[in-house]
Amino acid sequence: DAKTTQPPSMDCAEGRAANLPCNHSTISGNEYVYWYRQIHSQGPQYIIHGLKNNETNEMASLIITEDRKSSTLILPHATLRDTAVYYCIFTPNFGNEKLTFGTGTRLTIIP
């Protein structure tokens, strides 16, 4: 199964940008990087995904290095509601919807 490495926990001050790193050195050329987050007692929430270009949506920005071995999720102005566990994962192969979740990063936004 595809493996990603994330720091177990991070803190960020409210209103500041939260930058969450992820290493995925074994990613293959046509695999997407996806980010999800899980707030306590809820299901994982899709945030953003990308292949090799940087991506931005209403929730976050995704920066993928040129060699695609790592990426950073950026929450531009963190709020208390962004406190959650953030997961960085690869997409599965064609016709295989299995997602392999690691332990993620527990992000705490501090008032």
List for the chain the helix, strand, coil content (%; round to 5): 5, 45, 55
In the complex with other proteins, which residue's Cβ is closer, 5 or 103? Answer: 103
Cα separation of 41 and 54, whole Å?
31
In the complex with other proteins, which residue's Cβ is closer, 14 or 52? Answer: 52
Cα separation of 59 and 56, whole Å?
8
The binding track of 9-48 with respect to other proteins, each residue x by CB under 8 A or -, is ---------------------xxx-x-x----xxxxxx--
Task: Provide the residue type at 76 as one letter.
Answer: P
In the complex with other proteins, which residue's Cβ is closer, 79 or 93? Answer: 93
| Residues at the contact surface with other proteins, assessed by CB under 8 A | 30-32, 34, 36, 41-46, 49, 51, 87, 91-103
